[in-house]
């Protein structure tokens, strides 16, 4: 009886989504995706793909793109400043960022600063909700973000130029050229973003954003060469250079700045023989930062880590329906810096993955992974998932997985404070997804439960002194529901697209308050987040409206109501006109924060009021 | 300005006359000089890099009021990490570390008089001598050689000169026209004491007292310095010590060493007794003790993280930083360890400043 009622409840209220955009990847046979396993082994989970038309409509930071289009909440410390995600109620280091299949979360912090990733360098960005450590390793607990460069093998030559100028001397430029044949494919892109970022605070005040200026420059190269029908060489490369001044919260505070320099290189040899596909990947990831505690001084503190990865992925198609992958991976990095004294870390992993299409309506996948390292134990991970299509408009998905996050360089090796005896954070989670779909409509409702233990936190040492060091501390239980919606319709030559996301999130840990242990919501996790967008296209005119609602968040572990960060509603609009005939030459404008909402996503971190951008977008 | 000064001077003269000649009971008849006459202020640091520091006030009749600076001075915020308060005459000087400023207020009304920002960089503590204020400054925390003591003209509220000192000047105390500066070390670990002659604003001497001198208190010609010892993250780790310095000869007269790698945190003096803390334990001994007590006097029960400490008139004041993010509490104990009172204050309470 109880089970039945539970099932009915799940069926009615809690479903999950599939994104219609998911299928666009495979439409063109000649397009080779950088990370084939993402699609192959994520059928039982929710994957939302943001293609380049969505990327182009949004501002260039990964924070902005995901904030307005996904369920992920961002703790952004002021416009363009450091920014960390909370995906399904997890911490910022429990979301993995995957660049062409390679995990690029910082070795120092275990997380990615989402304002140091420019979106226009990528052909598509996919958002996978839920655990993914078997495929993507550390941090894929709340979910993972996939930055993908695709290669196309057909005769083509194209250029893309984007330039925008906006309020506060904000400029964004992106140039991309692609040249390809059926033998080779080359794509090169440059991006540059900069801003004085000196906006006046909205409301009745003379205060301005002081010391908020930033710039970043990046270069991306993607190259593929088909040696013969069985052998392909691929090369992916990215260089990213940025400087950000950190905006002040009081006008007389000391002015500081922060430089990032990141390099990513990946060489891949794909070889097909019979029913086997082997991929040998060599990667080198470099990350470095410099922090200047005084912008006028040449003195800085710094850190640098270089990671080398060798990965071998052998896929074996037993038949059309049963597919296997075995992956071995060896990862070695070394780091040094002002507070890290020449340390090394070596990690080996082995994974086995199975996907089985039992019938047209039913498939499942099962995968395991073993980590081997001397730094933090040897976690064993798994993922099990299945989906079943009941009718031609309804499908259910189930997934359960064990995931982890390894201690960071800072946690382990920070001089004097690092703790070599840390365990990884471990998460067990399960989810149920329901998908409803018709030709022009998809709705997914997913509910999940995630239990995370051994959370790594820096706490004051016992016994006096001012030493803080990391420890495996509390447990977190996170559960909630996500709704994704897409609807497209066409009336004569009027095209409408509606997208929406909603997340209800409870993420709690026990706090000792006046001698009593009580569950409290994690800081900077909203119970409610809602996004929506409406696009309207008519002949050569296209326009859109974007909406974001972030509910109240607590800023203290005991959930002090007096220091709650107030909810906020942001609306953006944009429109452009295509002057081109054969090619596309678009001229457009955008108005951000149309209601001049006066808001601070983090206490004392002010965001701008209404602001404007003009842009051109040329494809030739 | 002059008129107000005269009036204030008169008030002080009259009130001190009262204190001298009258019993406590007669205090009621005295006109209070403002809403904050008597009692004590508590400095709440707030979160670093966030302007949510604040000042709380506990009156003599034990009424707590939080965020007094912003309440009395609408539109003004205390700022990013207020660290300490110094009193001189009718003025209170709030040293706001992260915001690089000093808020000057009337100590009885808390009305803002001036905000000093010029030549203030990473300010820590203030003391007064020879009609001037002396403020310790770290400068850029990453630079070991730019630390200084700023000299504040108390009539114009401007910094008139700076005195260069070795890295990490922290607590500062005045005695007979001289200033004693403990070099806790800033971002590093210091071990010395600087003596400044207020008559010519020059450094008289600097000498080693012990690793990481964190607290200063004086009594009867002796300066008591509590050294925290080098922490575990700054090898070689060393235990703390209490060092006594003769204020007339500027020499170390005796040292009380802690055992093992014990790190005492705070020290205060009251009624010829030394009080100090190790973790949440409170210890006490007569000022002339030659050995450290082996057992604690009492444990500060209920306190999650002891972050501020003072002893006055046989009452022990403890600030609890809680989890460093939620509002903290202050506890008042008897010297036997009985909790007499507990009050909720703001984020990261770090010290007590008695307004009399």
The per-residue pLDDT for range B147-186, each reduced to its tens digit, is: 999 999 999 999 999 999 999 999 999 999 999 999 999 9
B299 in contact with A, Cβ within 8 Å: no
Round to whole Å and give the CA distance between A101 and A122: 13
Band (B300; pLDDT cuts 50, 70, 90): very high
User: Hey, are the CB atoms on B278 and A464 less than 8 Å from each other?
Assistant: yes
In angstroms, the separation between the Cα of residue A97 and the nearest Cα of chain B is 28
User: Hey, are the CB atoms on B232 and A563 less than 8 Å from each other?
Assistant: no
Closest CA to A164 of A152, A174, A154: A174
The pLDDT score that the predictor gives to residue A465 is 54
Average pLDDT per block of 10 residues along chain A, 620 residues long: 38 35 43 86 93 89 96 95 96 96 94 94 94 95 95 93 96 95 94 96 91 96 94 96 95 94 97 94 96 91 96 95 95 93 93 95 95 85 96 96 95 88 94 95 96 90 69 92 95 93 96 90 97 94 96 96 95 94 93 96 95 95
3-state SS, residue A169: helix
- Closest chain A residue to B303, measured at CA: A514
Lowest mean pLDDT among A34-48, B183-197, B267-281: A34-48
Round to whole Å and give the CA distance between B52 and A605: 12
pLDDT per residue as tens digits for the range A310-359: 999 999 999 999 999 999 999 999 999 998 889 999 999 999 999 999 99
A301 in contact with B, Cβ within 8 Å: yes
Query: From the CB of residue B131, how many other CB atoms can be counted at a distance below 10 Å?
Result: 11
Round to whole Å and give the CA distance between B176 and A488: 83
* CA end-to-end span of chain B: 23
B52 in contact with A, Cβ within 8 Å: yes
User: Hey, are the CB atoms on B50 and A603 less than 8 Å from each other?
Assistant: yes
What's the burial of B13, exposed, middle or buried (CB within 10 Å: 0-12/13-18/19+)?
exposed
Give CB contacts under 8 A, 24+ apart, made by A589-594.
A589/A613, A589/A614, A589/A615, A590/A166, A590/A615, A592/A59
Per-residue b or e along A210-219, where b marks 16 or more CB atoms closer than 10 Å to that residue's CB: bbbbbebbbe
Taking a C-beta distance cutoff of 8 angstroms, is the pair A64, A72 a contact?
no
Helix (H) or strand (E) holding B21: helix B2-21
A469 in contact with B, Cβ within 8 Å: yes
- Closest chain B residue to A248, measured at CA: B49
Place of tokens 């307004």: B355
User: Hey, are the CB atoms on B100 and A460 less than 8 Å from each other?
Assistant: no
- Closest chain B residue to A605, measured at CA: B50
Helix (H) or strand (E) holding B266: none
The interface residues of chain A toward chain B in range 502-521, judged by CB-CB distance below 8 A, are 511-512
- Closest chain B residue to A415, measured at CA: B233
In angstroms, the separation between the Cα of residue A287 and the nearest Cα of chain B is 23
User: Hey, are the CB atoms on A464 and B264 less than 8 Å from each other?
Assistant: yes
Of A415, A464, A469, the CB nearest to B263: A464
To the nearest whole number, what is the mean pLDDT of chain B? 91
The pLDDT score that the predictor gives to residue B11 is 41
In angstroms, the separation between the Cα of residue B153 and the nearest Cα of chain A is 20
Token pair belonging to A301 = 């503190």
Taking a C-beta distance cutoff of 8 angstroms, is the pair B135, B153 a contact?
no
Round to whole Å and give the CA distance between B197 and A403: 63
Q: In Å, how far are A353, A403, A442, A443 from A432, measured between CA atoms?
A: 21, 17, 17, 14
Q: Which residues contact A251 (CB under 8 A, 6 or more apart)?
A: A207, A210
Q: Are strands A362-373 and A380-391 parallel, antiparallel or unpaired?
A: antiparallel
Round to whole Å and give the CA distance between A476 and A509: 5
**Computed from CA positions of residues A407, A409, A415, A421, in that sequence, does the dihedral angle turn out positive or negative?**
positive
Residue in A299, A340, A465, A559 to test binding to B, most B beta-carbons within 10 Å: A465
Q: Which residues contact A182 (CB under 8 A, 6 or more apart)?
A: A30, A153, A154, A155, A226
3-state SS, residue A7: helix
Q: In Å, how far are A512, A530, A554, B299 from B304, measured between CA atoms?
A: 10, 38, 21, 12
Query: From the CB of residue A276, how many other CB atoms can be counted at a distance below 10 Å?
Result: 12
Q: Length of chain B in residues, anyone?
A: 356
Per-residue b or e along A490-515, where b marks 16 or more CB atoms closer than 10 Å to that residue's CB: eeeeeeebebbbbbbbbbbbebebee
The pair phi, psi for residue B212, each rounded to 5°, is: 60, 65
User: Hey, are the CB atoms on B323 and A558 less than 8 Å from each other?
Assistant: yes
Q: Which residue would you say has higher pLDDT here, B28 or A38?
A: A38
Q: What is the pTM of this model?
A: 0.90
In angstroms, the separation between the Cα of residue A471 and the nearest Cα of chain B is 15
Query: From the CB of residue B241, how many other CB atoms can be counted at a distance below 10 Å?
Result: 22
The pair phi, psi for residue A450, each rounded to 5°, is: -135, 125
The pLDDT score that the predictor gives to residue B28 is 52
B234 in contact with A, Cβ within 8 Å: yes
Taking a C-beta distance cutoff of 8 angstroms, is the pair B321, B302 a contact?
no
A416 in contact with B, Cβ within 8 Å: yes
A417 in contact with B, Cβ within 8 Å: yes
Band (B31; pLDDT cuts 50, 70, 90): confident
B121 in contact with A, Cβ within 8 Å: yes
In angstroms, the separation between the Cα of residue A154 and the nearest Cα of chain B is 54
A561 in contact with B, Cβ within 8 Å: no
Residues of B in contact with A512 (CB under 8 A): 304
Taking a C-beta distance cutoff of 8 angstroms, is the pair A56, A120 a contact?
yes
In angstroms, the separation between the Cα of residue B179 and the nearest Cα of chain A is 26
Residues of A in contact with B235 (CB under 8 A): 416
Token pair belonging to B130 = 């020879």
Q: Which residues contact A2 (CB under 8 A, 6 or more apart)?
A: none
């Amino acid at each position: 009886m109880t089970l039945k009622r539970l099932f009915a409840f799940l069926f009615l209220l809690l479903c999950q989504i599939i994104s219609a955009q998911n299928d666009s990847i495979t439409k063109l046979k000649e397009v080779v995706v950088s990370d084939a396993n993402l699609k192959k082994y994520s059928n039982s989970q929710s994957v939302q793909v943001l293609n380049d038309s969505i990327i182009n409509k949004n501002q260039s930071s990964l924070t902005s793109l995901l904030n307005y289009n996904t369920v992920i909440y961002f703790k952004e410390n002021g416009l363009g400043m450091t920014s960390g995600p909370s995906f399904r109620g997890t911490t910022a280091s429990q979301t993995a960022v995957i660049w062409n299949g390679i995990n690029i979360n910082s070795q120092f912090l275990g997380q990615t600063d989402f304002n140091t990733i420019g979106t226009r360098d990528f052909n598509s960005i996919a958002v996978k909700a839920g655990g993914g450590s078997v495929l993507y390793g550390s941090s894929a607990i709340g979910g993972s973000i996939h930055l993908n460069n695709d290669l196309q093998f057909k005769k083509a030559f194209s250029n893309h130029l984007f330039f925008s100028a906006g309020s506060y001397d904000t400029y964004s430029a992106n140039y991309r050229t692609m040249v390809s044949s059926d033998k080779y494919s080359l794509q090169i892109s440059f991006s540059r973003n900069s801003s004085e970022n000196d906006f006046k605070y909205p409301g009745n005040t003379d205060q301005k954003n002081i010391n908020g200026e930033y710039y970043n420059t990046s270069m991306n190269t993607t190259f593929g060469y088909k040696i013969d029908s069985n052998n392909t060489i691929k090369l992916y490369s990215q260089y990213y250079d940025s400087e950000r001044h950190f905006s002040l919260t009081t006008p007389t505070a000391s002015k500081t700045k922060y430089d990032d320099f990141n390099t990513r290189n990946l060489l891949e040899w794909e070889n097909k023989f019979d029913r086997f596909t082997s991929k040998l990947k060599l990667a080198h990831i470099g990350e470095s930062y410099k922090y200047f505690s005084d912008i006028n001084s040449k003195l800085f503190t710094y850190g640098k880590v270089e990671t080398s990865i060798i990965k071998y992925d052998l896929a074996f198609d037993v038949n059309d329906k049963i597919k296997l992958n075995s992956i071995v991976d060896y990862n070695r990095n070394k780091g040094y810096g002002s507070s890290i004294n020449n340390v090394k870390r070596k990690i080996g992993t082995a994974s086995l993955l199975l996907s089985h299409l039992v019938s047209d309506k039913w498939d499942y996948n099962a995968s395991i992974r073993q980590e081997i390292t001397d730094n933090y134990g040897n976690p064993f991970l798994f993922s099990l998932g299945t989906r079943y299509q009941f009718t031609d408009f309804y499908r259910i998905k189930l997934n359960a997985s064990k995931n982890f996050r390894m201690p960071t360089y800072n946690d382990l090796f920070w001089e004097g404070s690092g703790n070599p005896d840390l365990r990884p954070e471990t998460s067990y989670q399960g989810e149920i997804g329901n998908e409803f779909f018709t030709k022009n409509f998809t709705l997914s409702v997913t509910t999940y439960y995630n239990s995370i233990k051994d959370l790594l936190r820096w706490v004051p040492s016992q016994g006096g002194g001012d030493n803080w060091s990391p420890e495996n501390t509390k447990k977190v239980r996170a559960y909630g529901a996500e709704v994704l919606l897409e609807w497209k319709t066409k009336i004569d030559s009027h095209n409408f697209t509606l997208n929406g996301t909603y997340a209800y999130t409870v993420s709690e840990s026990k706090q000792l308050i006046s001698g009593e242990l009580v569950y409290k919501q994690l800081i900077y996790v909203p119970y409610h987040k809602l996004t929506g967008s409406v696009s309207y296209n008519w002949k050569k005119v296209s326009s859109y409206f974007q909406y974001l609602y972030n509910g109240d968040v607590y800023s203290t572990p005991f959930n002090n109501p007096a220091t709650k960060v107030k909810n906020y509603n942001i609306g953006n609009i944009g429109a452009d006109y295509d002057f081109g005939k054969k090619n596309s030459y678009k001229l457009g404008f955008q108005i951000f924060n149309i209601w001049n909402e006066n808001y601070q996503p983090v206490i004392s971190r002010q965001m701008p009021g209404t602001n404007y951008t003009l842009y051109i977008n040329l494809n030739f | 300005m002059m008129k107000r000064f005269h009036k204030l001077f008169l008030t002080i003269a009259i009130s001190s006359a009262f204190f001298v000649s009258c019993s406590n009971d007669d205090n009621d008849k005295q006109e209070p000089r403002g809403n904050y006459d008597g009692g004590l202020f508590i400095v709440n640091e707030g979160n670093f890099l966030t302007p949510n520091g604040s000042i709380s006030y506990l009156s003599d009749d034990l009424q707590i009021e939080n965020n007094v600076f912003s309440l009395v001075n609408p539109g003004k915020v205390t700022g990013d990490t207020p660290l300490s308060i110094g009193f001189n005459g009718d003025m209170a000087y709030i040293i706001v570390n992260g915001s690089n400023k000093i808020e000057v207020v009337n100590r009885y009304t808390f009305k803002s008089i001036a905000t000093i920002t010029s030549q203030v960089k990473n300010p820590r503590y203030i003391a007064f001598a020879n009609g001037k204020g002396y403020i310790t400054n770290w400068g850029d925390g990453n630079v070991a050689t730019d630390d200084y003591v700023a000299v504040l003209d108390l009539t114009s509220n401007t910094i008139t000169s700076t005195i260069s000192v070795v890295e990490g000047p922290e607590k500062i105390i005045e005695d007979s026209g001289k200033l004693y500066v403990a070099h806790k070390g800033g971002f590093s670990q210091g071990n010395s004491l600087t003596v400044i002659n207020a008559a010519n604003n020059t450094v008289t001497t600097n000498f080693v007292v012990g690793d990481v001198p964190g607290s200063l208190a004086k009594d009867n010609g002796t300066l008591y310095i509590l050294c925290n010892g080098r922490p575990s993250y700054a090898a070689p780790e060393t235990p703390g010590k209490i060092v006594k310095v003769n204020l007339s000869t500027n020499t170390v007269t005796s040292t009380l060493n802690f055992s093992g790698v014990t790190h005492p945190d705070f020290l205060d003096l009251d009624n010829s007794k030394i009080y100090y803390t190790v973790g949440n334990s409170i210890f006490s001994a007569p000022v002339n003790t030659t050995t450290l007590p082996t057992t604690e006097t009492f444990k500060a029960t209920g306190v999650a993280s002891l972050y501020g400490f003072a002893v006055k008139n046989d009452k022990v004041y403890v600030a609890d930083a809680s989890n460093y993010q939620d509002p903290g509490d202050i506890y008042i104990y008897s010297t036997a360890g009985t909790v007499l009172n507990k009050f909720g204050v703001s984020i990261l309470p770090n010290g007590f400043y008695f307004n009399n």
